[in-house]
Structure 1
Amino acid sequence: DIRKSAGEYQLVIPKDTKKDQTYFLSSIPKQSLRKVLFPLADLTKDQVRQIALRENLPVSSKPESQDICFIPKGNTEEYLREHLSPPPGDIVDQKGNIIGAHRGIAFYTIGQRARLSMNWGRPLYVIAKDIAGNRITIGERENLLARGLMANSMNLFTESLPEKAYAKIRYAHAPALCRVTIENDCMMILFDEPQEAITPGQTVALYADGAVLASGIISEMIG
């Protein structure tokens, strides 16, 4: 939703928090908020369906789309393989030893369970991706934890950020309490508790009092 406070327009979490899209919308430029309308912000998804049913609209019973809605049958890997054809590459451990092969770096994400041909007797996870070298590094789940991150391409909705805020590092991530500082057009975010699977290239969105304060693109983890 859009809220006006003290002459400023704010992007705020809607009534239906289960369908909150503010994480994805956090890159909207501040100056554009005055031109944006969200007519369904005060309604839940169930209420919208009831209105559609009452008006005999065919979408009233349409199944919800999941993941990337325009991909046929929801098969993301097949779509990427057809349009990108990513080449296979090496899977390495934290010492750089080659221990397997991946089927294309685009098919993996930080935090994903690594499935190898050999049984290592314990779960292993993707902890880093080297795009230029086409290599994936795997490790223990504890290796996914980091105490902070750096972010660039900042989008600020307020003139000054509070000392404490809540940061969301992916859509399904529960916002985590953090400290934020800005230096040389970059945000440094340090969490009160280490967070799992911080992923360079993903958006980080900052919140306080139900409103989006800023966003940026994660450039690196801070161990």
Structure 2
Amino acid sequence: MSMRQDKVKVAVAMSGGVDSAVAALLLKKQGYEVHGFFMRNWNPLSNIPNDCPWQKDYEDVRRVCNHLTIPYSTLNFESEYHKRVLIPFLNEYQNGRTPNPDILCNKEIKFDVFWNNVKALGFHYMATGHYSKLENGALVKPKDADKDQTYFLSALSDRQLENVIFPLADLTKTEVREIAKKAGLPNAGKKDSQGICFIGKLTVRDFLKANLKIAPGEVKAATGELLGKHEGSELYTIGQRHIGVAAGGKTLYVSSKNTKTNTLIMDREENLYTNKLSFEKAAWSIPVPQSFQCQVQTRYRSKSIPAIVSLTNSMELVSGEAELLLPARAITPGQTIAFYKDSKLIGNAIIK
């Protein structure tokens, strides 16, 4: 860096969790001028039922920043979050698809709205507690393979990564916990958050029931046999078990959904695996040919699978098919597929 490190201002997106707290700690130790920011994304006065524990998270941010003797602020993005994350999330479910709101939140809020706001305040960089790594401007898998979060960041553009620091790139979760404990951080023992940020303790099912127009419909076997009824097809995702539905003593799972007839199609576990998928809305961080081999990841925490990717149009390169060299379970429309060359993220798309 051309300027003195103690003059480089870094805005740390702090969630109240131990990862972003340690990120702020490490940056301060490295001599940066660190400022913690808590993003207020959920409006508790909204008429959308929820159980988002943001007050407790904010209190943890306040305690950590006071412990580190760094300034902290709150930025309110309720309007942007509602428009750019929550509404698309609900619309996708209403249309029978299963989106990933964390990927959308990173692309639309944390690395867009948040960065534009702190940049306007004079900050040179932003940092988060993601387990991810940057090498020559490209996202690569971090040291902790089990906590790898590059999948959640796969929709970010090269421009969005230009002024980002990932302080936890070369640390494991165990090491992060130990650093937090030794530093006496007040949230050192806080459990990792689970589930979708704006739902809190509610189940996804209860949240969707409160916010979508749903209607009961038929549950059928892949053979066409009528098996029963469901509350609303939007409440189910591919690979999910339907309680009370079985055939021949075998447990059945949702294999597909027909949104036009509001029908769930059920099948046996062994029939949920496939070697092919189609995708759309692809974005690439490197030039790619019309056909190439790489590794793909079809959901968070799933293992990368070797695949042969074939793009439909040699000019646009935004849609195509992936032939999986190992079968994958419950490929789900609306989910993100991330493409890797070894440990380097090279693109993402939406599964059709």
Question: Is the 8 Å Cα contact of residues 94 and 137 (structure 1) preserved in structure 2?
Answer: yes
The yes-or-no answer on 1:48 pairing with 2:172 is: no
Specify which of 316, 319, 322 is matched with residue 189 of structure 1.
322
Task: Give per-residue Cα distances to partners, 1:139-195, cap 9 Å, x unaligned.
Answer: 122321222111111010111257321111111211111111212331311012332
Q: Give the secondary-structure state (helix, strand or coil) at the position aligned to 1:24.
A: coil
Tell me: CA distance 1:104–1:153, structure 2 relative to 1, closer, same or farther (3 Å).
Answer: same
Distance 1:37 1:130 in 2: 43
- Given the alignment of the two structures, is residue 28 of structure 1 paired with residue 156 of structure 2, yes or no? yes
Normalised by the size of structure 2, how large is the TM-score? 0.57
Is residue 63 from structure 1 mapped to residue 191 from structure 2 by the alignment? yes
Alpha carbons of 1:63 and 1:182: their partners in 2 closer, same or farther (altered >3 Å)? same
User: How many Å apart are 1:215 and its aligned residue?
Assistant: 0.9
Name the structure with the higher helix share. Answer: 2
Match of 1:3 in 2: 135
Q: Which runs of 4+ in 1 moved over 3 A?
A: 117-120
Which residue of structure 2 lines up, in the alignment, with residue 212 of structure 1? 345
> How many corresponding residue pairs?
215
Helix, strand or coil: the match of 1:25? Answer: coil
- State the shift of 1:71 in Å: 2.2
Aligned to 1:116, the other structure's residue is in SS state strand
Higher CA-based Rg: 2
| Alpha carbons of structure 1 residues 59 and 86: separation in structure 2 relative to 1, 3 Å | farther
Give the Å deviation of 1:85: 5.3
Output the CA distance in 2 between the equivalents of 1:31 and 1:149: 29
* Equivalent pair of 2:146/2:301 in contact (CA under 8 Å): no
Give RMSD over aligned pairs: 2.0
Match of 1:170 in 2: 299
Gapped regions of structure 2 (runs ≥ 5): 1-132
Query: CA separation in 2, counterparts of 1:164 and 1:42?
Result: 28
Deviations 1:79-131 (A, max 9, x none): 22222253222111224343211122232111122322566411211100123
Q: Distance in 2 between matches of 1:204 and 1:167?
A: 7
2:70 paired residue number: none
Structure with greater strand percent: 1
Q: TM-score, normalised by structure 1?
A: 0.87
Q: Secondary structure at the match of 2:151?
A: helix
Query: Does the aligned pair in 2 maintain the 1:168–1:175 contact within 8 Å?
Result: yes
Partners of 2:179 and 2:330 in 1: how far apart? 40
SS in 1 for 2:288: coil
Alpha-carbon separation, structure 2, partners of 1:117 and 1:13? 40
Matched, 1:92 2:225: no
1:23 is paired with a residue whose SS is: coil
Q: Is the contact made by 2:295 and 2:342 (CA closer than 8 Å) also made in structure 1?
A: no
- Tell me, in whole angstroms, the C-alpha distance in 2 between the residues paired with 1:207 and 1:111: 24
Q: Secondary structure at the match of 1:115?
A: strand
| Contact 1:30–1:156 under 8 Å retained in 2 | no
1:20–1:74 CA distance, 2 compared to 1 (3 A): farther
SS of the residue 2:176 aligns to? helix
2:36 alignment partner in structure 1? none
- Indicate if the aligned counterparts of 1:167 and 1:175 stay in contact, CA closer than 8 A: yes
Whole-Å separation in 2 of the counterparts to 1:132 and 1:37 = 46
Distance 1:183 1:72 in 2: 40
Query: Does residue 276 of structure 2 align to residue 143 of structure 1?
Result: no
CA contact (8 A) 1:91 1:102 kept: yes
Partners in 2 of 1:193 and 1:81 — Cα distance?
Answer: 36
Instruction: Kindly state the Cα deviation for residue 38 of structure 1 after the two structures are TM-superposed.
Output: 1.2
Give the 5 Å matches for 1:98-117: 98-116=226-244
Query: CA 1:118 to 1:199, structure 2 compared with 1: closer, same or farther past 3 Å?
Result: closer
1:88 and 1:57 map into 2 onto residues whose CA distance is 49
Deviates more, 1:203-212 or 1:93-102: 93-102
Identity of aligned residues (%): 36
Q: Distance in 1 between matches of 2:270 and 2:174?
A: 39
Equivalence map 1:148-159=2 (5 Å): 148-159=276-287
Structure scoring higher RCO (CA < 8 A, sep ≥ 6) equals 1
